[in-house]
A and B are shown apart, each in its own frame.
Chain A
Amino acid sequence: AQSVTQLDSQVPVFEEAPVELRCNYSSSVSVYLFWYVQYPNQGLQLLLKYLSGSTLVKGINGFEAEFNKSQTSFHLRKPSVHISDTAEYFCAVSSPGGYQKVTFGTGTKLQVIP
Chain B
Amino acid sequence: SAVISQKPSRDICQRGTSLTIQCQVDSQVTMMFWYRQQPGQSLTLIATANQGSEATYESGFVIDKFPISRPNLTFSTLTVSNMSPEDSSIYLCSVEINYGYTFGSGTRLTVV
Asked if A and B are interacting partners, one says yes
Considering the complex, which residues of chain A in the window 9-51 have a beta carbon less than 8 Å from any beta carbon of chain B? 32, 34, 36, 41-46, 49, 51
- What residues of chain A lie closer than 8 Å to B100, measured between beta carbons? 34, 46, 49
- What residues of chain B lie closer than 8 Å to A104, measured between beta carbons? 42-44
Which of B12-20, B69-77, B79-87, B103-111 lines the interface with chain A?
B103-111
Count of chain A to chain B residue pairs whose CB atoms are closer than 8 Å in the complex: 46
When C-beta atoms are compared, the residue in chain A nearest to B50 turns out to be A99
Q: Is B102 an interface residue, CB under 8 A from the partner? A: yes
A111 to chain B, nearest CB (A): 15
Prevailing SS type, chain B contact patch: strand
- Given the interface pairs A43-B106, A44-B92, the reply to whether A98 lies near B41 with Cβ below 8 Å is no
How far does the alpha carbon of A102 sit from the alpha carbon of B58 in the complex, in Å?
12
How far does the alpha carbon of A106 sit from the alpha carbon of B33 in the complex, in Å?
19
- What residues of chain A lie closer than 8 Å to B31, measured between beta carbons? 99
In the complex, per-residue mask of A90-114: 1 if CB is within 8 Å of any chain B CB, else 0: 1010000011011011110000000
Considering the complex, which residues of chain A in the window 50-70 have a beta carbon less than 8 Å from any beta carbon of chain B? 51
How far does the alpha carbon of A106 sit from the alpha carbon of B92 in the complex, in Å?
16
User: Which B residues lie at the A interface, using CB under 8 A?
Assistant: 1, 6, 30-31, 33, 41-45, 48, 58, 92, 96, 99-106, 108
Given A34-B100, A46-B102: 16 more A-B contacts, CB < 8 Å:
A32-B99, A42-B105, A42-B106, A43-B92, A44-B43, A45-B103, A46-B101, A51-B99, A90-B42, A92-B101, A98-B96, A98-B99, A102-B33, A104-B43, A106-B41, A107-B42
In order of increasing CB-CB distance, the 6 nearest A-B pairs are A43-B105, A44-B103, A43-B103, A104-B43, A104-B42, A43-B106
